[in-house]
Amino acid sequence: MSATRSVLVVGGGAAGNAATILLRRAGIAVDLIEAKDDWNATAGSGITLQGNALRVLRDLGVWNQVRESGYGFGSVGITAPDGTVLHVADDVRTGGEDLPATVGMQRPRLQQILMAAVRASGATVRLGTRADILDQDSTGARVRFSDGTTGRYDLVVAADGLGSTTRAAIGITAEPEPTGMAIWRVATPRPAGVVRTDLAYGGPAYIAGYCPTGEATLYAYVVEGNRDRATIPQASYADEMRSLAQHYGGCWPEIAAHITDPAQVNYTWFDRMLVEDSWHRGRVVLAGDAAHCCPPTLAQGAAMSLEDALVLTELLAGADTWDDALLQTYYERRVPRVRAVVEASVQIGQWQLDGVRDADVAGLMGRTMTMLKELP
Protein backbone atom coordinates (compact mmCIF):
# COMPACT_ATOMS: atom_id res chain seq x y z
CA MET A 1 0.00 0.00 0.00
CA SER A 2 1.28 3.44 -0.91
CA ALA A 3 2.78 5.40 1.98
CA THR A 4 1.31 8.57 0.50
CA ARG A 5 -2.30 7.66 1.19
CA SER A 6 -4.21 10.20 3.22
CA VAL A 7 -7.43 10.20 5.23
CA LEU A 8 -9.56 13.02 6.58
CA VAL A 9 -11.36 12.07 9.79
CA VAL A 10 -14.35 14.30 10.50
CA GLY A 11 -15.21 14.26 14.20
CA GLY A 12 -13.11 13.82 17.32
CA GLY A 13 -15.29 11.49 19.38
CA ALA A 14 -14.65 7.84 20.18
CA ALA A 15 -14.84 6.57 16.59
CA GLY A 16 -12.88 9.43 15.05
CA ASN A 17 -10.14 9.41 17.66
CA ALA A 18 -9.75 5.63 17.51
CA ALA A 19 -9.64 5.59 13.71
CA THR A 20 -7.01 8.32 13.71
CA ILE A 21 -4.75 6.48 16.14
CA LEU A 22 -5.00 3.18 14.26
CA LEU A 23 -4.58 4.71 10.79
CA ARG A 24 -1.47 6.57 11.91
CA ARG A 25 -0.07 3.36 13.34
CA ALA A 26 -0.52 1.85 9.87
CA GLY A 27 1.55 4.67 8.36
CA ILE A 28 -1.38 6.53 6.77
CA ALA A 29 -1.40 10.33 6.84
CA VAL A 30 -4.38 11.60 8.83
CA ASP A 31 -5.96 15.00 9.32
CA LEU A 32 -8.56 15.05 12.07
CA ILE A 33 -11.01 17.93 12.28
CA GLU A 34 -13.44 18.61 15.11
CA ALA A 35 -16.18 21.25 15.08
CA LYS A 36 -15.87 22.02 18.81
CA ASP A 37 -13.02 24.32 19.81
CA ASP A 38 -12.43 22.36 23.02
CA TRP A 39 -12.57 18.91 21.38
CA ASN A 40 -15.35 17.99 23.85
CA ALA A 41 -12.69 17.73 26.53
CA THR A 42 -15.08 18.49 29.41
CA ALA A 43 -18.42 17.22 28.05
CA GLY A 44 -20.45 14.52 29.73
CA SER A 45 -20.65 12.91 33.14
CA GLY A 46 -19.75 9.23 33.06
CA ILE A 47 -19.45 6.28 30.74
CA THR A 48 -19.80 2.53 31.17
CA LEU A 49 -17.21 0.58 29.18
CA GLN A 50 -17.78 -3.14 28.86
CA GLY A 51 -15.13 -5.65 27.92
CA ASN A 52 -15.45 -5.40 24.16
CA ALA A 53 -14.85 -1.64 24.42
CA LEU A 54 -11.87 -2.25 26.70
CA ARG A 55 -10.47 -4.71 24.14
CA VAL A 56 -10.32 -1.94 21.53
CA LEU A 57 -8.89 0.55 24.02
CA ARG A 58 -6.13 -1.97 24.70
CA ASP A 59 -5.47 -2.18 20.95
CA LEU A 60 -5.22 1.62 20.94
CA GLY A 61 -2.50 1.43 23.60
CA VAL A 62 -4.46 3.35 26.26
CA TRP A 63 -5.77 0.50 28.42
CA ASN A 64 -3.37 1.13 31.31
CA GLN A 65 -4.48 4.76 31.54
CA VAL A 66 -8.13 3.75 31.36
CA ARG A 67 -7.65 1.14 34.08
CA GLU A 68 -5.91 3.64 36.35
CA SER A 69 -8.51 6.34 35.72
CA GLY A 70 -11.67 4.26 36.05
CA TYR A 71 -13.34 1.79 38.36
CA GLY A 72 -13.54 -1.87 37.36
CA PHE A 73 -16.25 -4.25 38.51
CA GLY A 74 -17.85 -7.49 37.44
CA SER A 75 -21.51 -7.56 38.42
CA VAL A 76 -24.79 -5.68 38.16
CA GLY A 77 -27.43 -5.42 40.85
CA ILE A 78 -31.17 -5.19 40.38
CA THR A 79 -32.95 -3.38 43.19
CA ALA A 80 -36.44 -2.40 44.17
CA PRO A 81 -37.14 1.35 44.21
CA ASP A 82 -36.64 1.35 47.99
CA GLY A 83 -33.09 0.08 47.52
CA THR A 84 -33.69 -3.56 48.44
CA VAL A 85 -31.31 -5.69 46.39
CA LEU A 86 -33.36 -8.27 44.50
CA HIS A 87 -30.67 -9.95 42.41
CA VAL A 88 -26.96 -9.65 41.62
CA ALA A 89 -25.66 -11.14 38.37
CA ASP A 90 -22.14 -11.53 37.08
CA ASP A 91 -21.47 -9.44 34.00
CA VAL A 92 -20.42 -11.24 30.83
CA ARG A 93 -16.73 -10.65 30.13
CA THR A 94 -17.21 -9.55 26.54
CA GLY A 95 -13.54 -8.62 26.17
CA GLY A 96 -12.16 -11.93 27.39
CA GLU A 97 -11.09 -13.23 30.76
CA ASP A 98 -7.99 -11.02 30.89
CA LEU A 99 -10.04 -7.82 31.02
CA PRO A 100 -12.61 -6.64 33.57
CA ALA A 101 -16.24 -7.18 32.64
CA THR A 102 -16.91 -3.45 33.07
CA VAL A 103 -15.07 -0.23 33.81
CA GLY A 104 -16.89 2.94 34.72
CA MET A 105 -15.05 6.22 34.27
CA GLN A 106 -15.62 9.91 33.88
CA ARG A 107 -16.38 10.59 30.24
CA PRO A 108 -14.15 13.71 30.04
CA ARG A 109 -11.21 11.67 31.32
CA LEU A 110 -11.66 9.08 28.56
CA GLN A 111 -11.81 11.83 25.98
CA GLN A 112 -8.63 13.41 27.34
CA ILE A 113 -6.80 10.06 27.18
CA LEU A 114 -7.84 9.59 23.55
CA MET A 115 -6.95 13.20 22.67
CA ALA A 116 -3.43 12.70 24.01
CA ALA A 117 -3.06 9.48 22.01
CA VAL A 118 -4.21 11.25 18.83
CA ARG A 119 -1.66 14.01 19.39
CA ALA A 120 1.08 11.47 20.05
CA SER A 121 0.21 9.61 16.83
CA GLY A 122 1.45 12.49 14.69
CA ALA A 123 -1.93 13.24 13.14
CA THR A 124 -2.73 16.82 12.21
CA VAL A 125 -5.57 18.13 14.39
CA ARG A 126 -7.69 21.16 13.55
CA LEU A 127 -10.27 22.24 16.10
CA GLY A 128 -13.23 24.52 15.50
CA THR A 129 -13.22 23.29 11.90
CA ARG A 130 -15.90 21.84 9.63
CA ALA A 131 -15.68 20.45 6.10
CA ASP A 132 -17.94 20.20 3.07
CA ILE A 133 -17.48 17.55 0.39
CA LEU A 134 -16.90 19.43 -2.87
CA ASP A 135 -16.59 16.48 -5.22
CA GLN A 136 -15.16 12.99 -5.43
CA ASP A 137 -14.08 10.39 -7.94
CA SER A 138 -12.83 6.82 -7.86
CA THR A 139 -9.54 7.82 -6.24
CA GLY A 140 -10.49 10.36 -3.62
CA ALA A 141 -12.57 13.26 -2.36
CA ARG A 142 -11.99 17.01 -2.35
CA VAL A 143 -13.21 19.02 0.61
CA ARG A 144 -13.49 22.65 1.60
CA PHE A 145 -12.83 23.58 5.21
CA SER A 146 -14.69 26.24 7.14
CA ASP A 147 -11.62 28.50 7.04
CA GLY A 148 -11.82 28.57 3.23
CA THR A 149 -8.96 26.18 2.54
CA THR A 150 -9.37 22.99 0.54
CA GLY A 151 -7.82 19.55 0.56
CA ARG A 152 -7.94 16.26 -1.28
CA TYR A 153 -7.89 12.88 0.46
CA ASP A 154 -7.94 9.25 -0.56
CA LEU A 155 -10.77 8.70 1.94
CA VAL A 156 -12.99 10.72 4.25
CA VAL A 157 -14.16 9.02 7.46
CA ALA A 158 -17.35 10.71 8.66
CA ALA A 159 -17.38 10.20 12.43
CA ASP A 160 -19.26 13.40 13.13
CA GLY A 161 -21.91 11.95 15.38
CA LEU A 162 -25.62 11.47 15.58
CA GLY A 163 -26.46 14.67 13.73
CA SER A 164 -23.80 14.07 11.08
CA THR A 165 -23.92 16.72 8.38
CA THR A 166 -21.58 14.61 6.26
CA ARG A 167 -24.07 11.74 6.26
CA ALA A 168 -26.76 13.99 4.81
CA ALA A 169 -24.35 15.65 2.38
CA ILE A 170 -23.50 12.34 0.67
CA GLY A 171 -27.16 11.46 0.20
CA ILE A 172 -27.81 9.08 3.07
CA THR A 173 -31.26 9.99 4.34
CA ALA A 174 -31.34 8.02 7.61
CA GLU A 175 -32.06 10.20 10.63
CA PRO A 176 -32.18 9.40 14.35
CA GLU A 177 -35.67 8.75 15.70
CA PRO A 178 -36.73 9.22 19.34
CA THR A 179 -37.69 6.04 21.18
CA GLY A 180 -39.97 7.74 23.70
CA MET A 181 -37.53 7.78 26.62
CA ALA A 182 -35.15 10.39 27.98
CA ILE A 183 -32.34 10.34 30.53
CA TRP A 184 -31.08 12.65 33.26
CA ARG A 185 -27.36 12.21 34.05
CA VAL A 186 -25.06 13.74 36.66
CA ALA A 187 -21.63 13.11 38.17
CA THR A 188 -21.45 13.04 41.99
CA PRO A 189 -19.18 11.80 44.77
CA ARG A 190 -19.32 8.02 45.17
CA PRO A 191 -20.97 6.66 48.32
CA ALA A 192 -18.76 4.03 49.95
CA GLY A 193 -21.37 1.34 49.33
CA VAL A 194 -21.38 1.72 45.55
CA VAL A 195 -19.05 -0.92 44.10
CA ARG A 196 -20.97 -1.86 40.93
CA THR A 197 -23.83 -0.70 38.76
CA ASP A 198 -27.23 -1.03 40.43
CA LEU A 199 -30.47 -0.58 38.51
CA ALA A 200 -33.89 0.06 39.99
CA TYR A 201 -36.85 -0.54 37.70
CA GLY A 202 -40.15 1.12 38.52
CA GLY A 203 -41.02 3.97 40.84
CA PRO A 204 -41.60 7.41 39.31
CA ALA A 205 -39.09 6.66 36.53
CA TYR A 206 -38.49 3.69 34.28
CA ILE A 207 -34.91 3.18 35.48
CA ALA A 208 -32.78 4.72 38.22
CA GLY A 209 -29.17 3.63 38.13
CA TYR A 210 -25.60 4.54 38.92
CA CYS A 211 -22.11 3.44 37.95
CA PRO A 212 -18.87 3.98 39.91
CA THR A 213 -16.36 5.96 37.85
CA GLY A 214 -13.41 6.13 40.25
CA GLU A 215 -12.40 5.78 43.87
CA ALA A 216 -14.31 8.95 44.74
CA THR A 217 -16.76 9.47 41.86
CA LEU A 218 -19.80 8.00 40.17
CA TYR A 219 -22.37 8.97 37.65
CA ALA A 220 -26.06 8.58 38.25
CA TYR A 221 -28.93 8.50 35.81
CA VAL A 222 -32.71 8.45 35.82
CA VAL A 223 -34.73 7.40 32.76
CA GLU A 224 -38.25 8.72 32.16
CA GLY A 225 -40.61 9.34 29.26
CA ASN A 226 -39.27 12.04 26.99
CA ARG A 227 -40.62 15.54 27.45
CA ASP A 228 -40.48 18.59 25.24
CA ARG A 229 -37.02 19.94 26.01
CA ALA A 230 -38.19 23.47 25.28
CA THR A 231 -40.46 23.28 28.35
CA ILE A 232 -37.63 22.44 30.76
CA PRO A 233 -35.42 25.46 31.57
CA GLN A 234 -31.82 24.43 32.12
CA ALA A 235 -31.84 26.32 35.40
CA SER A 236 -34.29 23.70 36.70
CA TYR A 237 -32.29 20.63 35.63
CA ALA A 238 -30.95 19.83 39.11
CA ASP A 239 -34.39 20.27 40.68
CA GLU A 240 -36.00 18.06 38.02
CA MET A 241 -33.51 15.22 38.44
CA ARG A 242 -33.47 15.46 42.22
CA SER A 243 -37.27 15.33 42.37
CA LEU A 244 -37.14 11.97 40.59
CA ALA A 245 -34.11 10.63 42.47
CA GLN A 246 -35.54 11.38 45.91
CA HIS A 247 -38.11 8.59 45.50
CA TYR A 248 -35.39 5.90 45.48
CA GLY A 249 -33.74 4.30 48.49
CA GLY A 250 -30.44 2.62 49.23
CA CYS A 251 -27.58 4.91 48.16
CA TRP A 252 -29.90 7.32 46.36
CA PRO A 253 -30.50 9.79 49.23
CA GLU A 254 -26.75 10.42 49.44
CA ILE A 255 -26.51 10.75 45.66
CA ALA A 256 -29.55 13.04 45.45
CA ALA A 257 -28.08 15.40 48.05
CA HIS A 258 -25.31 16.23 45.57
CA ILE A 259 -27.64 17.00 42.65
CA THR A 260 -27.57 20.75 43.17
CA ASP A 261 -25.85 22.39 40.18
CA PRO A 262 -28.04 22.50 37.05
CA ALA A 263 -24.96 23.08 34.89
CA GLN A 264 -23.71 19.62 35.88
CA VAL A 265 -26.94 17.83 34.91
CA ASN A 266 -27.48 16.59 31.38
CA TYR A 267 -30.86 15.79 29.79
CA THR A 268 -31.14 13.96 26.47
CA TRP A 269 -33.66 11.86 24.60
CA PHE A 270 -33.01 8.27 23.63
CA ASP A 271 -32.70 7.86 19.85
CA ARG A 272 -32.32 4.96 17.48
CA MET A 273 -30.87 4.77 13.98
CA LEU A 274 -29.20 2.21 11.74
CA VAL A 275 -28.04 3.16 8.26
CA GLU A 276 -28.97 0.32 5.91
CA ASP A 277 -27.54 -0.98 2.60
CA SER A 278 -24.08 0.56 2.96
CA TRP A 279 -22.20 3.02 5.13
CA HIS A 280 -20.33 4.70 2.30
CA ARG A 281 -20.90 6.73 -0.82
CA GLY A 282 -17.84 6.83 -3.04
CA ARG A 283 -14.80 7.82 -0.98
CA VAL A 284 -16.77 8.92 2.10
CA VAL A 285 -17.53 6.32 4.78
CA LEU A 286 -19.47 6.56 8.05
CA ALA A 287 -18.35 5.35 11.46
CA GLY A 288 -19.76 5.47 14.97
CA ASP A 289 -22.91 7.42 15.78
CA ALA A 290 -23.01 8.80 12.24
CA ALA A 291 -23.91 5.26 11.11
CA HIS A 292 -25.91 3.96 14.08
CA CYS A 293 -27.18 4.86 17.51
CA CYS A 294 -29.28 3.23 20.20
CA PRO A 295 -30.48 3.79 23.77
CA PRO A 296 -27.82 3.09 26.43
CA THR A 297 -29.84 0.23 27.93
CA LEU A 298 -26.96 -2.15 27.08
CA ALA A 299 -24.20 0.46 27.54
CA GLN A 300 -22.78 -0.42 24.12
CA GLY A 301 -22.77 2.92 22.25
CA ALA A 302 -19.09 3.74 22.69
CA ALA A 303 -18.12 0.09 22.22
CA MET A 304 -19.84 -0.10 18.85
CA SER A 305 -18.12 3.13 17.75
CA LEU A 306 -14.71 1.87 18.85
CA GLU A 307 -15.27 -1.44 17.07
CA ASP A 308 -16.24 0.41 13.87
CA ALA A 309 -12.88 2.18 13.94
CA LEU A 310 -11.01 -1.05 14.58
CA VAL A 311 -12.65 -2.99 11.74
CA LEU A 312 -12.46 -0.14 9.22
CA THR A 313 -8.80 0.58 9.85
CA GLU A 314 -7.92 -3.12 9.82
CA LEU A 315 -9.43 -3.42 6.34
CA LEU A 316 -7.82 -0.21 5.06
CA ALA A 317 -4.39 -1.07 6.41
CA GLY A 318 -4.46 -4.54 4.88
CA ALA A 319 -5.68 -3.63 1.38
CA ASP A 320 -3.70 -2.60 -1.67
CA THR A 321 -6.82 -1.12 -3.25
CA TRP A 322 -9.40 1.06 -1.55
CA ASP A 323 -12.64 0.64 -3.46
CA ASP A 324 -16.38 0.11 -3.10
CA ALA A 325 -15.92 -3.61 -2.45
CA LEU A 326 -13.61 -2.97 0.48
CA LEU A 327 -15.93 -0.41 2.07
CA GLN A 328 -18.91 -2.70 1.53
CA THR A 329 -16.99 -5.45 3.33
CA TYR A 330 -16.65 -3.09 6.29
CA TYR A 331 -20.43 -2.59 6.33
CA GLU A 332 -21.15 -6.31 5.98
CA ARG A 333 -18.84 -7.17 8.88
CA ARG A 334 -20.32 -4.54 11.14
CA VAL A 335 -24.04 -4.42 10.43
CA PRO A 336 -25.19 -7.80 11.86
CA ARG A 337 -23.46 -7.11 15.17
CA VAL A 338 -24.58 -3.48 15.35
CA ARG A 339 -28.14 -4.38 14.38
CA ALA A 340 -28.33 -6.93 17.20
CA VAL A 341 -27.22 -4.28 19.71
CA VAL A 342 -29.55 -1.59 18.36
CA GLU A 343 -32.58 -3.88 18.29
CA ALA A 344 -31.93 -5.32 21.75
CA SER A 345 -31.32 -1.88 23.26
CA VAL A 346 -34.55 -0.54 21.78
CA GLN A 347 -36.54 -3.64 22.75
CA ILE A 348 -35.56 -3.36 26.41
CA GLY A 349 -36.85 0.19 26.50
CA GLN A 350 -40.00 -0.64 24.57
CA TRP A 351 -40.92 -3.38 27.01
CA GLN A 352 -40.83 -0.77 29.75
CA LEU A 353 -42.82 1.76 27.75
CA ASP A 354 -45.44 -0.92 27.10
CA GLY A 355 -45.52 -2.08 30.70
CA VAL A 356 -44.65 -5.69 29.83
CA ARG A 357 -44.17 -7.34 33.21
CA ASP A 358 -42.90 -10.74 32.05
CA ALA A 359 -40.38 -9.43 29.50
CA ASP A 360 -37.22 -11.51 29.19
CA VAL A 361 -34.86 -8.59 29.82
CA ALA A 362 -32.18 -10.69 31.50
CA GLY A 363 -32.32 -13.29 28.74
CA LEU A 364 -32.06 -10.75 25.95
CA MET A 365 -29.18 -8.99 27.69
CA GLY A 366 -27.38 -12.28 28.24
CA ARG A 367 -27.76 -13.46 24.66
CA THR A 368 -26.60 -10.13 23.26
CA MET A 369 -23.60 -9.82 25.56
CA THR A 370 -22.56 -13.42 24.88
CA MET A 371 -22.58 -12.65 21.14
CA LEU A 372 -20.32 -9.67 21.80
CA LYS A 373 -17.61 -11.93 23.21
CA GLU A 374 -16.81 -12.85 19.60
CA LEU A 375 -14.27 -10.63 17.89
CA PRO A 376 -15.87 -7.93 15.70
Residue 281 included in any domain: yes
Compute the average pLDDT of residues 271-291.
Answer: 97
% of the chain surpassing 70 pLDDT: 99
On whether the pTM is more than 0.85, the answer is: yes
Residue 157 included in any domain: yes
The whole-number pLDDT of residue 3 equals: 56
Residue 55 included in any domain: yes
Residue predicted with more confidence, 166 or 1: 166
Model confidence pLDDT, tens digit, residues 162-199: 999 999 999 999 999 999 999 999 999 999 999 999 99
Compute the average pLDDT of residues 255-275.
Answer: 97
The domain in which residue 123 lies consists of: 6-70+105-176+272-354
What distance in Å separates the CA atoms of residue 57 and residue 261, rounded to the nearest whole number?
32
- How far CA 311 is from CA of 72, 116, 278, 317, 329, in Å, comes to 26, 22, 15, 10, 10
CATH number at residue 326: 3.50.50.60
% of the chain surpassing 90 pLDDT: 97
What distance in Å separates the CA atoms of residue 13 and residue 9, rounded to the nearest whole number?
10
Residue 113 included in any domain: yes
What distance in Å separates the CA atoms of residue 208 and residue 221, rounded to the nearest whole number?
6
The whole-number pLDDT of residue 109 equals: 97
Residue 306 included in any domain: yes
Model confidence pLDDT, tens digit, residues 45-81: 999 999 999 999 999 999 999 999 999 999 999 999 9
Residue 256 included in any domain: no
Model confidence pLDDT, tens digit, residues 302-353: 999 999 999 999 999 999 999 999 999 999 999 999 999 999 999 999 999 9
The whole-number pLDDT of residue 226 equals: 95
Per the structure, how many domains does the chain have?
Answer: 1
The whole-number pLDDT of residue 4 equals: 77
Residue 65 included in any domain: yes
Residue 290 included in any domain: yes
Q: Is the pLDDT of residue 1 over 70?
A: no
